[in-house]
Amino acid sequence: MIFGSNWQKACTFIEENKNLMLKTCQENNVDFNFAISAVFPELIRYSVLRDQIEITLLKALYVHYGAEYSNFSVGVFQIKPGCAEEILKHVPKLNEPGFNDHFSYFFQRRSEREKRHEIVRELEDPSMEFYFVVALIRILENKYSREKWKNTDEKLRFYSAAYNAGFLSPEKYIREMMTANLFHTKLTKPKVTYCYSDISSVYFRTLKE
């Protein structure tokens, strides 16, 4: 397999945390296999050591000054604080008690610095970060509710590309990213790269076999 031990580590993480993530999906009407497949490439790419070394200073910059000064991927699902902020803006539009209750801290009268500190704290906790993943899936469901997908695979590839390229990106751009070979796990871009959506699709098929 192309990603070797990194693929297996991603699968191990899912097995070890499946019960909690499955519960979050069930409570918010999201298919677990679909959701975890959409973000599976991030589990391959994630490295605890790299994460800790690279973002210590960046976290401080973000908490003090905001996403315009420092926007970086955090946690096992590699969500950027700026993306988390956008998810939080869209949560009230879903009008669902579960999300409103979970994210209630961010809707209270707190300072922006306190909210940014809480965002980083949640993104560093896999169970809390996965709630952002599920919320993002529901936001996409709401946004593209009238879309006529050819099949589940096309929908998964689109959602996966949206997760990677930005869920607020124009649909045309997201569809272009569905076939873009930009994914890799190296610190610097290697000669050979892969399609993010392809990885999600392959993993989803393994779950059905």
Contact 113, 122 (CB under 8 A): no
Q: pLDDT at position 166, please? A: 95
Give the model's confidence band at 110: pLDDT under 50 very low, under 70 low, under 90 confident, else very high.
confident
Q: Which of 1-15, 126-140, 165-179 has the lowest mean pLDDT?
A: 1-15
Contact 6, 44 (CB under 8 A): yes
Contact 62, 116 (CB under 8 A): yes
Which pTM does this prediction carry?
0.88
Q: pLDDT at position 48, please? A: 42
Q: How far is CA 72 from CA 17, 20, 82, in A?
A: 24, 26, 8
How many other C-beta atoms are found inside a 10 Å radius of the C-beta of residue 93? 10
Q: What is the pLDDT of residues 116-163, one digit of tens each?
A: 889 988 998 999 999 999 999 999 999 999 999 999 999 999 999 999
